[in-house]
Amino acid sequence: MPEILEIEYYRLLAEGALEREIASVHVDRYAGKMNTPGLRPADIFPGLSFLTARRKGKLLLLDTEGPTFGMRFGMTGGLLLDGLATIDRLEYGPGRYEDKWVRASVTFVDGGSLLLHDPRRLGRILVDPDEDALGPDGFTLTLKEFREALTARGEGPALKARLLDQSKIAGVGNLLADEMLWRAALDPRRGCATLNDAETKRLHRHVRSTLTQLFDRGGSHTGDLMAERHPGGACPKDGQALFRDTVGGRTTWWCPKHQK
Ligand SMILES: [Zn+2]
């Protein structure tokens, strides 16, 4: 699944779509599902141009002089600009292109295009999406914001579940959450409100550094733990056999020896 790092690559690609007049927009019935009836991207965006390419968590935001063109990429969504794809970098993408998987397209007056390519049909095009429903972005998350994100009644939900909660921290997906907790030596099942101050600071540091390091390496699937996410996998730090269970609704791998 594209996580925050992949959407940041898409955002960089989408910068090439700025300041180009939009000729037409097509959004299929899957990608258009979440829009208010009557609010059709095909009617709204022609004649406008994208002015800025922003991102909040896994949501890509292309602002115009009118409404904002929002893109969600679901499980397998990729972005193509003028035929150039970043989808080959996607561990969870199909690794190939097919016309029938194009769910939405923006064609520019100059003849180029911006496409949402998505075999699983969970990607969405949104007119003026609700950005306030998302927590602070993982890339720029401050320690103060992180402390607030971990606040909960009692022990709170599992750390892993809280890291995945997009309304608390925007952008972290399954692979990144496991990698961050493994690096920070914290058990993913721990209540998110049970961390002491040193642990909170340590996890915050690893949230930030894991994102910047894996962004440079090439994506969410480039973590140190990735190669060991299989039965018989061992901790790259200490060789301990990894545990696997469902935490926060997702398959989670962790080391029972050093993650406490
Ligand atoms: Zn270990």
Q: pLDDT tens, 123-132?
A: 999 999 999 9
Ramachandran category for residue 38: left, alpha or beta (phi over 0 → left; psi -120 to 50 → alpha): left
- 238/164 same-domain check: yes
The mean predicted confidence, pLDDT, of the chain is: 94
User: Is the separation of the CB atoms in 184 and 12 below 8 Å?
Assistant: no
For residue 88, the CA-to-ligand 1 centroid distance in Å is 31
For residue 253, the CA-to-ligand 1 centroid distance in Å is 11
Summarize pLDDT for 196-208 with one digit per residue, the tens.
999 999 999 999 9
Summarize pLDDT for 56-98 with one digit per residue, the tens.
999 999 999 999 999 999 988 999 999 876 655 545 566 778 8
**Single-letter amino acid, residue 218:** G
For residue 146, the CA-to-ligand 1 centroid distance in Å is 25
For residue 225, the CA-to-ligand 1 centroid distance in Å is 10
CATH of the domain at 147: 1.10.8.50
Residue 259 lies in a domain: no
- 70/182 same-domain check: no
**Domain total for the chain?**
2
Summarize pLDDT for 30-41 with one digit per residue, the tens.
999 877 777 899
- 165/91 same-domain check: no
Q: CA-CA distance, 252 to 244, in Å (whole number)? A: 6
For residue 259, the CA-to-ligand 1 centroid distance in Å is 7
- 161/221 same-domain check: yes
For residue 234, the CA-to-ligand 1 centroid distance in Å is 8
Residue 177 lies in a domain: yes
Note the helical H segments in the chain.
4-14, 41-44, 143-150, 159-164, 174-183, 197-217
Q: The domain containing residue 21 runs over which residues?
A: 4-132
Q: CA-CA distance, 129 to 187, in Å (whole number)? A: 34
For residue 76, the CA-to-ligand 1 centroid distance in Å is 31
- 151/230 same-domain check: yes
For residue 8, the CA-to-ligand 1 centroid distance in Å is 30
> What pLDDT shows up at residue 88?
53
Whole-Å CA distances, 67 to 106, 130, 213: 15, 12, 34
Report residue 211's pLDDT band, with 50, 70 and 90 as the boundaries: very high
For residue 179, the CA-to-ligand 1 centroid distance in Å is 12
Residue 137 DSSP one-character state: B
Residue 260 lies in a domain: no
Which of 132, 148, 175 is a domain's end point?
A: 132
Which residues are CB-neighbours of 142 under 8 A, at least 6 positions away? 136
Q: Residue 220's closest CA among 99, 101, 105, 73?
A: 73
Report residue 229's pLDDT band, with 50, 70 and 90 as the boundaries: very high
